[in-house]
Structure 1
Amino acid sequence: MISESVVDLSRFQFAMTAMYHFLFVPLTLGLAFILAIMETTYVISGKEIYKDMTK
């Protein structure tokens, strides 16, 4: 039979993986969206500040 400590460690590992996923996936997608907005704003307006923001 599986001991309680193995089950607890497995739950802890799943919790860490879930937290990593819940944090970094939206962060990455959000940053990509913001960069796309800044690039589009630069192309439309031609202001260098928006180009510098994307670097």
Structure 2
Amino acid sequence: MDVLDLSRLQFGVTTVYHFLFVPITISLSFLVAGMQTAWVRTNNEKWLRATKFFGKIFLINFAMGVVTGIVQEFQFGM
């Protein structure tokens, strides 16, 4: 494999991982917002625990999406 093929492989892997993180982050934002709303309305502690748990997953996922997005910007040459 030459440099061009390796560069294309690296770009493809980075893009696939970035596009996996984007829909998961969007879905988790709605999920966390819904659980937070349920906790405010019912004042049930299970919703608060679930919100905190999925909120942490959301933050990790968001951070990974930012990292892969920044790497993609450098690969685009921006």
Indicate the TM-score class for this superposition, using the shorter chain for normalisation.
0.7 to 0.9
Q: Which residue of 1 aligns with 2:34?
A: 37
Q: Which runs of 4+ in 1 moved over 4 A?
A: none
Distance in 2 separating the partners of 1:14 and 1:33: 30
* Corresponding pairs, count: 52
Bigger Rg, structure 1 or 2: 1
Which one has the bigger helix percentage?
A: 2
Instruction: Give the alignment's Cα RMSD to 1 decimal.
Output: 1.3
Q: How far off is 1:9 after superposition?
A: 0.7
Distance in 2 separating the partners of 1:49 and 1:24: 27
Larger RCO, structure (CA 8 Å, separation 6 or more)? 2
Extract unaligned runs of 5+ from structure 1: none
Extract unaligned runs of 5+ from structure 2: 53-78
Alignment of 1:1-55 (within 5 A): 5-55=2-52
Q: How far off is 1:32 after superposition?
A: 1.6
TM-score between both structures, scaled by the size of structure 1: 0.79
TM-score between both structures, scaled by the size of structure 2: 0.59
